[in-house]
Chain A
């Protein structure tokens, strides 16, 4: 019999994180010049590119909706993003993730302002280690803001779950493979705390669920702060630079 893995030991997890710690998260907006909006995100080992094109006229014409815009969310995993080569053909899983994530973004966008149009969101996963759908959704939301598409709020997402009998935030692949693992991707609109994506895989008791959900919302808010920072960063830096040069010029005069 295999040796049993201890997922939580003295309040520390396998990779040394605490129970309520996120993996290292890095977000950068505006990385693809040809796209209307884009974002590169690294979340632990996950590496994600998101790009947004549009709104543009929806074609063929019969898919147009004269009352609102469509959101075409394409979630794709690169062939080299998983240990064994992945077939590049979009499978059942990718189509489902595209559907639910697109619907999550629809809740945030002012779609009614762009009738008969479509907003294309393409997300490519370059490297994965559990929680790619929340990473993709987080990146897509930053890319949408970078494209200047009017939104009610950002969309922030995080995974919560259970491994080794403890409720933990932001599971990695090892924890997701635990025998008692439960994985819950949550996406919220941080301002109103409205839930826009919620899936669950595994079994929880009522108390555990309440705890997990609370932790998820807390995690989403942490992610939101990072998104905010990433969007502002470019402009704050430029502003600071010019302020400095102006000071120097004034001193020179």
Chain B
């Protein structure tokens, strides 16, 4: 079998192209910056998580006030950490097929990192401790634990995190739609209905779907965060608790969920590299991503299952969407990944082994997530 030999490794000709495309020094640095910052933050948050567990086990003594500050920071920090890593990963693997700007990615990175720092200041110095969920009206009932300035700092931080991710989504969407000639084409719709033979590669489908859902979620997030900031400044502002809860989870749940789909986009490029087999766009893949577009945007209401004042139809829609979201993942992405590995003379390295084990975790975690939505 013909192989293309690069500096250090062997890549199948069909799988070549994605990562064998030359990258500039700036691009590599930006990639490392995203991965490095995200991983550093992830390990820092792990330490906070362990600290909380040790406190619960009475191994270390932490005051209630500090425990909940740490909890707030840990929730928001873990989301930002994994988001940064996966944003960087998808950006790097998309670079050979669509035109992306390192400068604009840096702007998004800057907004998110500054946002995370403000959350850190609000929690550690300002004592802000509502959990990452900041459900209204808890931020305005501090019981002497935090001052309005730290509430404002926290929400400006959250605004920047959402804004940074929105910038990234705009960048992806602009690039995929201009490269493939419109949104429908970037989503593979003409290919699905047989009107075009050319389909965008899987990572582009992932990027387009993530960008669309990410922008909708960021819009919801911006709305609630501005409302909360408004109330911080003027206590006379009235925020409906049910409205606030819906928007908070629409924002938080959806962005956390999209991190997995950012990772799926990176997977489409990285796995073929180790398997030496191509991952091509097929009609089931297009259907899977179109379904995911809808499921991700409608699943958040499962965070309100215990609120019986939430309209009943929203509960049923969310129940259906949360469960059905497992179908594209299990039948298309994980299954195809396993087909790629089967009998492939897979190149087992530390990275690819961890990658492979990640799938193993993905299956049961999907199953338990479905159970927990019951």
Q: Do A and B bind each other?
A: no
Chain B residues at the A interface, C-beta cutoff of 8 Å: none
Chain A residues at the B interface, C-beta cutoff of 8 Å: none
